[in-house]
Structure 1
Amino acid sequence: MKPRETVVVHGDYSLDSVAALFALFLDRNVVVPVVTLTDTTLDTLVEHCRRAISSGRPGRVRRSRTSPHGPNPPHGPNPPDRPSSPAPRNPPTGPRPCTARLGDPDAAGLVLLSSGSTGAPKVILHSLDVLVGEKLKKRPRRRENALNILMVLMFDHIGGINSLLSTLLVGGTAVLPRQRTPDEICALIERHRILVLPTSPTYLNLIMVGDYHRTHDLSSLRLITYGTEPMSEELLLRVRKTFPGVRLLQTFGTSETGIATTTSESSTANSSSGAGPSSSAICYDDDSLTEDRWFRTGDLVEEAAHGYLRIKGRAKEVINVGGEKLLPLELESVLMGSPLVEDCVVYGRPNAITGQSVCVDTIAMSDR
């Protein structure tokens, strides 16, 4: 394949996928990490990148060109001598591809896909050179004992890419899980004496609900970073109680803005719901920007003392009952404070009188 061609690295974290990511970076390609490759995803990539090369097995690639036999060749949809992948698509004509916005012909790119309101994913192009360069600028001196960091976030997520680059560029060891079950993750923490755990509030809750922190030795942990969703006050209190000697750091980022640098009021960092596009972001949906070029994340925030902001939830999650507005996280936090509730989820349903009504599904606390 040639430099600047768009290459889909199909798969989750593995030695092959990580090696492919950096090999394509050095070869000056545009890399698209995709854990689950669908027809819709491939169509979207071809629309914005003109052509995508799908690589799902070491040494085997497939170009998105039209087959002379159409989508179903004589051997069927997946011939025996070809890797399984979606049928190739016709490269569209019209505006220049998104990847042309890289400008520098020697630049390497990274394409991330985020969910779109119409069902088709949105394409966000980053300069991989800038992403790597930012990490190198902030790189601290190497430790005598290298950090072991567990890759819990997904390979095709901005948080997962950030974790991988941060780990390897400080000379750390990225521990790649075969499965992301709480039992597997906690077993890896114990086995490899993991110091830093990048994760999400939901995952921390699963660890505590399943008592995996009791069945495994997690005493090596020194830092837990969490993001991708808001952290309720009730859950934060339980995490602090469960991991009393571990520093907690909330991160904030989107596919369009990258991971933002945050400052902490105490041990938990809170970040703004509005952010300027990342210095590495080149191609994104301009409809998501304000007139002065701030990105609308769709998050609701509450301003606390000294200018700190607390993320309350997503604007689209608000339940409106006759003009009274409620965020599911607020009620879930109250319910989870009851010793009778093990887990719960709050959501809205249409109501002919009030517009919406509040519904709750709960799991009762079982006797232990």
Structure 2
Amino acid sequence: MEHLKPSPANSSPLTPLGFLERAATVYGDCLSIIYNTTSYTWSHTHRRCLQLASCLSSLGIKPGQVVSVLAPNIPAMYELHFAVPMAGAILNSINTRLDARTVSILLRHSESKLLFVDYFSKSLVLEAISLFPGSVKPPVLVLITDDEVSEPLNASLAVDFIDTYEGLVGKGDPDFKWIRPKSEWDPIVLNYTSGTTSSPKGVVHCHRGCFVIAVDSLVDWSVPKQPVFLWTLPMFHANGWSYPWGMAAVGGINICVRKFDAPTIYRLIREHSVTHMCGAPVVLNMLSNSLADNQTKLENPVHILTAGAPPPASILSRTESLGFIVSHGYGLTETGGIVVSCAWKPQWNLFPATERARLKARQGVRTIGMTEVDVVDPESGVSVKRDGSSLGEIVLRGGCLMLGYFKDPVSTSKCVTEKGWFYTGDVGVMHPDGYLEIKDRSKDVIISGGENLSSVEVESVLYTNPMINEAAVVARPDEFWGETPCAFVSLKKNNGDASNQEAATEKYIIEYCRARLPHYMVPKTVVVKKELPKTSTGKIKKYELREMAKAMGSSRISRL
């Protein structure tokens, strides 16, 4: 069979952009996007993306150049996931909660040529641009307005912005022949990590990797054709775990929302018969806490996929009691989406609710698009025992992994080894049944008296306390033990019960943990805050809490 070789007919570059073209043919008259009073069909979305890609090319954007966007989950944000790479450019989504200094750094590092700016972020961007050195040319700015903001590009704004988003769409050619990648390894997106443990790094993904993760994510979550998808996950967070492309593949309806809280989510679920949504555990916590506001159980089940941080079993249980069907997975910016998921076994349905929640809190097994997942000793690279207690670093191998970090070969070589593994920096265990469970970030493991303890395990116990809304545990320096656990917590609304607030003292919480944990894992310090600091994707900023713990005095009771 030596004469049988790849040919142009069987080796066309894989790209998720083709999903939109197919959606326009198969689902052309079906709704693609709903946002307030705006709605589009898949034919509209396809045409609008072609027009915008055409206009980007006419503005001089060349293949391989970076085009950025700073916007929430509005229709323009969705369309740019197709339109920018259709022009041959690389999409860079910037999170909306960053400060001007960080935005300026990211724009310069990415060498962005054009930046789409949501109306409510224009002041932030103009401040970020003002921080550019005089020798560096800033990106061209385009203003995004929508049915919430219909202000035209007046004379004062025109000084800084060349046009509006809709203005560019209207000028484009609907018959534009989009620029297909010459190689499936060509970059399609540049995403910056959230920086919870270090400075943000620029993660570059290729067309092939995004195709693989988009299809893989649909299959693993068993997403049917034409779902109704509520965008509670920021699209700037790892490109919405690949679901902007995935929804085109299955002809889904994208319910866009600028900002939300629990009442907004429940309203949109009712109004649009939502079937699927994604979110970090903080979203599950928000939904489950609505029980206190007399929220009734959902009329129809809603599938919700959570990842981003290990969710406490108690929150999973409360969320499912409301009628949500929770799926749990694990991924990183570097994987482009969910690559490990808690594949559910039918016999587990026979277990009590608490046991089901405990099993679902585990991250699980590799998705079908991944080649291998393991937990290894970081020094020797040897797999740890599958006993559910031997700690090691989680390593991955598969087709959706990043090409590398932009302009950072040193960091790339540190995590992508010559042996063919990607070292995640996450600490976990492998259970006897082959299911993975994350225990911590490597920087979050607390070493107390020579014992390694998992902050996640302590947090899981704290979340079982009905008064605690949020919890995070970090290391506090200790002269005798080296480090001891320090718990930061916020409380739920006391609903008029003043005793709740009084009971949430350091002594009470420590005693609560002591009854449920080995003594060396019990927090020695407790800090009660109104709210814990978070990234734009809902992850608690443990690095900030670590700094607070380091700066503490000798007092054993703290209130901020």
How far is 1:313 from its partner? 2.4
- Paired with 2:463 and 2:213, the residues of 1 have a C-alpha distance of 40
- Paired with 1:104 and 1:149, the residues of 2 have a C-alpha distance of 31
Q: Of the candidates 233, 237, 247, which is equivalent to residue 325 of structure 2?
A: 247
Cα deviation per residue 1:137-196 (whole Å; 9 max; x = unaligned)? 88789967x211111111211261412222222100111112132222222122211111
SS in 1 for 2:242: helix
Matches within 5 A, 1:68-79: none
Cα deviation per residue 1:100-147 (whole Å; 9 max; x = unaligned)? xx9749946110101458954211111135414664688789967x21
Decide whether the 8 Å contact of 1:28 with 1:108 is kept in 2: no
Partner residue in 2 for 1:181: 261
Q: Of the candidates 354, 364, 389, which is equivalent to residue 270 of structure 1?
A: 364
Q: Of the candidates 205, 227, 249, which is equivalent to residue 285 of structure 2?
A: 205
- Paired with 1:330 and 1:106, the residues of 2 have a C-alpha distance of 40
User: Structure 1 residues 51 and 32 mapped into 2: Cα distance closer, same or farther (>3 Å)?
Assistant: closer
How far is 1:4 from its partner? 2.4
Decide whether the 8 Å contact of 2:72 with 2:118 is kept in 1: no
CA RMSD of aligned residues (A): 3.8
What is the identity, as a one-letter code, of the residue corresponding to 1:55? F
- Paired with 2:439 and 2:471, the residues of 1 have a C-alpha distance of 17
Unaligned runs of 5+ residues in structure 2 are 1-60, 139-155, 163-180, 349-359, 366-372, 374-393, 406-411, 497-560
- Paired with 1:360 and 1:80, the residues of 2 have a C-alpha distance of 50
Matches within 5 A, 1:155-304: 155-158=235-238, 160-211=240-291, 214-215=294-295, 218-243=298-323, 246-259=324-337, 260=339, 262=341, 264-266=343-345, 268=360, 270-271=364-365, 272=373, 273-276=394-397, 278-279=399-400, 281-284=402-405, 285-304=412-431
SS in 2 for 1:252: strand
What is the identity, as a one-letter code, of the residue corresponding to 2:83? A
Cα deviation per residue 1:266-320 (whole Å; 9 max; x = unaligned)? 3745145321264362223221223413112122222223211122222221222
Cα deviation per residue 1:317-336 (whole Å; 9 max; x = unaligned)? 12222223322221232233
**Residue 346 in structure 1 maps to residue 473 in structure 2:** yes
How far is 1:264 from its partner? 1.2
Matches within 5 A, 1:78-227: 81-83=159-161, 104=183, 107=186, 109-116=188-195, 120-128=199-207, 130-132=209-211, 135=214, 146-158=226-238, 160-211=240-291, 214-215=294-295, 218-227=298-307
Decide whether the 8 Å contact of 2:197 with 2:443 is kept in 1: no
What is the identity, as a one-letter code, of the residue corresponding to 1:32? N
SS in 2 for 1:3: coil
Cα deviation per residue 1:227-253 (whole Å; 9 max; x = unaligned)? 00112233333333343xx43221221
User: Structure 1 residues 57 and 181 mapped into 2: Cα distance closer, same or farther (>3 Å)?
Assistant: closer
- Paired with 1:278 and 1:105, the residues of 2 have a C-alpha distance of 12
TM-score (norm 1): 0.77
Greater mean alpha carbon deviation, residues 260-269 or residues 217-226 = 260-269
How far is 1:207 from its partner? 1.6
Q: Provide the identity percentage.
A: 22
Partner residue in 1 for 2:438: 311
- Paired with 2:314 and 2:445, the residues of 1 have a C-alpha distance of 19
Decide whether the 8 Å contact of 2:63 with 2:87 is kept in 1: yes
User: Structure 1 residues 194 and 82 mapped into 2: Cα distance closer, same or farther (>3 Å)?
Assistant: same
- Paired with 2:302 and 2:184, the residues of 1 have a C-alpha distance of 42
- Paired with 1:9 and 1:275, the residues of 2 have a C-alpha distance of 30
Decide whether the 8 Å contact of 2:439 with 2:455 is kept in 1: no
Decide whether the 8 Å contact of 1:130 with 1:280 is kept in 2: yes
User: Structure 1 residues 129 and 10 mapped into 2: Cα distance closer, same or farther (>3 Å)?
Assistant: farther
Decide whether the 8 Å contact of 2:203 with 2:402 is kept in 1: yes
**Residue 53 in structure 1 maps to residue 114 in structure 2:** yes
Decide whether the 8 Å contact of 2:463 with 2:469 is kept in 1: yes
User: Structure 1 residues 302 and 138 mapped into 2: Cα distance closer, same or farther (>3 Å)?
Assistant: closer
Decide whether the 8 Å contact of 1:45 with 1:51 is kept in 2: yes
What is the identity, as a one-letter code, of the residue corresponding to 2:227? L
How far is 1:9 from its partner? 1.5
What is the identity, as a one-letter code, of the residue corresponding to 1:304? H
User: Structure 1 residues 138 and 355 mapped into 2: Cα distance closer, same or farther (>3 Å)?
Assistant: closer
SS in 2 for 1:154: coil
Greater mean alpha carbon deviation, residues 206-215 or residues 310-319 = 206-215
Q: Of the candidates 494, 499, 504, which is equivalent to residue 366 of structure 1?
A: 494
Decide whether the 8 Å contact of 1:56 with 1:83 is kept in 2: no
**Residue 23 in structure 1 maps to residue 83 in structure 2:** yes
Unaligned runs of 5+ residues in structure 1 are 72-77, 85-101
Partner residue in 2 for 1:43: 105
User: Larger C-alpha radius of gyration, 1 or 2?
Assistant: 2
Decide whether the 8 Å contact of 1:257 with 1:275 is kept in 2: no
Q: Of the candidates 323, 328, 339, which is equivalent to residue 455 of structure 2?
A: 328
Q: Of the candidates 56, 59, 72, which is equivalent to residue 12 of structure 1?
A: 72
What is the identity, as a one-letter code, of the residue corresponding to 1:270? G
How far is 1:41 from its partner? 4.2
The number of equivalent residue pairs is 339
SS in 2 for 1:251: strand
- Paired with 1:359 and 1:169, the residues of 2 have a C-alpha distance of 46
SS in 2 for 1:305: coil
- Paired with 2:68 and 2:453, the residues of 1 have a C-alpha distance of 41
Greater mean alpha carbon deviation, residues 356-365 or residues 6-15 = 356-365
